Structure 1
Amino acid sequence: MKIKVLRHMLVDSNITPSRPGAVVDVDDDIAKELIAQGTAEAASGAKKGDDATDEKAAPAPANKKAPDPKTRVPDMPILALDMVKSHLRVTWPNEDQLIGLYLAAAEGSAASFLNRKVYPDQDALEAAVLAETAGDDPMVVNPEIQAAVLLTVGHLYMNREDTIVGATVAELPRGALALLQPYRVGLGV
């Protein structure tokens, strides 16, 4: 049965995210349940492919496609977009570009704080050294740096403005900077 998606949801056992306005073809029992929940409506004669919002136009689920170069940091791709979306508990694809921007900013911020380039694996590090682009004191990413990047992306995603009104806010004592501090180099003085 064809249904029109009214809000973000998972439409099948493969956990395919669907965006509002998409027309998708699902099992009749699932369609009836989604319509009863108010997350979809019958597509009343719509044929798959007729509508510009057809699910075919949506990107494939993140776990089935190669990373989009727009959502990765070319110099320091230390985290996959899928992992970041999992951390943020985001299952829909329409925020991939925004999350990719936050990921790039978080990875760049971590590298700037560390005063060194960070590479995803030893092969990438060795290639950069051979190409003489590794800079001073390059390193391979570790779980602490990855966690710091995830914390920073989470902060950027949840706090999309410079200010918060009507809320008491406190920085957690073991935040991103505490995770990065042991690996920082070139402090000067």
Structure 2
Amino acid sequence: GQETDRFNELIARVTSTLKTLGSAIKGLVVMSAQLEDMYNAFLLQKLPPLWGEPVSYPCLKPLNSWFADFEMRVSFVSTWLKNGPPASYWVSSFYFPQGFMTCSKQVHARKTKIPIDSLAFWTEPTDCMDVSQAVTPKDGQHVHGLFVQGAGWDVPAKQMCESEKGVLFVELPMIWMQVVMQDDFASLKEQ
């Protein structure tokens, strides 16, 4: 719903502005200030303001990296729509990850007839770093695409550790997310 709508809006904006800029470069339409800003952004390998927020997701990457990232995000969502739910959700590809989390709670609440406000998330890191090896869990979801900054991650111990010298960001392994009752949360925490 919301995610696909936002991606479709961004795709439409990119497509239409590229066509218009092409026409302006050929002299078929007037080069507006916005189109000139877009052209100059291309020369500087920056995201054009016409494609930025609120239409796009926040991103500080140069233009070529932004395009590669954009293609991966669209591919992830397209594959999900064509093939059904993935074994692991690339949570950092979402415009609004909180919406995914809320939806997960809503699905669980409807299935179990438990009020959504009495539910919480229980998360456990897995030892899986290769998402292609992911298997859909019986309960909950797997998510990937999360990073820690200024720390390392010990995969076998499933805990943070000292970062390696010169390494600023470390990708976390796939995380298992399960919706549980808030009352059960404390007992799970003790295990």
Same fold (TM over 0.5): no
The TM-score with structure 2 as length reference comes to 0.26
The TM-score with structure 1 as length reference comes to 0.26
The structure with the largest strand share of the pair is: 2
